[in-house]
A = this chain, B = another copy of it.
């Protein structure tokens, strides 16, 4: 599930503060989910906690990392060293969680040769050579939208089967290739919607505003974290 990485992060935090075991309740509240859901998730792993005690933190970390395939450090290739790509190249959150940026690529010749974080930007045409040098398991696309599909095609052509796409567009890829997308503007638009909904509700508490804002329970927007603790 997509929640496993969140559990993992919380577990690492617990391990650093010296906890040896966690109850499902404790871990669940740290992540912000229902404890039953967490237990069910963990039971799918086949991982065993001990009843009456809880889960062994270190053991659980190993189990989850094993399932996520994080036992080995994965090399990622980053294509597009513009504004966003530059930030990603320098983001230390990757290295600290088992990912190594192995190559920086860009189509712009004026960017080729630039040095970022000890890595030299190479031309995107060298992609196949880069993949030959290192075992690239994930490709990250941080190009403008018009270039994204072509880059994706090239990545697929050289054997990359997992792509993280930051370009605001839909990618067409053959079966067997996984694509996840992150669109920063979409996140803002969803917040804007909530903002708009809240404004309507407070302004027109009786009528409820438009049809949408009056829907029972509002609209479900996945991944929205709402009202945890105080």
Residues in chain B near residue A180, CB distance under 8 A: 187, 190-191, 223-225
Q: What's the dominant secondary structure at chain A's contact region?
A: mixed
Count the copies: 2
A228 within 8 A of B: yes
Contact with B along A69-99 (1 / 0, CB 8 A): 1100010100000011011101111101111
A221's partner among B2, B174, B198 (CB-CB below 8 A) is B2
A83's partner among B91, B186, B187 (CB-CB below 8 A) is B91
How many residues of A sit at the interface, in one of the four size bands?
Answer: 35 or more
A76's partner among B92, B97, B188 (CB-CB below 8 A) is B188
Which chain A residues (29-82) contact chain B, with CB distance < 8 Å? Answer: 30-32, 44-46, 67-70, 74, 76
Stretch from A3-11, A103-111, A126-134 at the B interface: A3-11
Residues in chain B near residue A182, CB distance under 8 A: 182, 184, 187
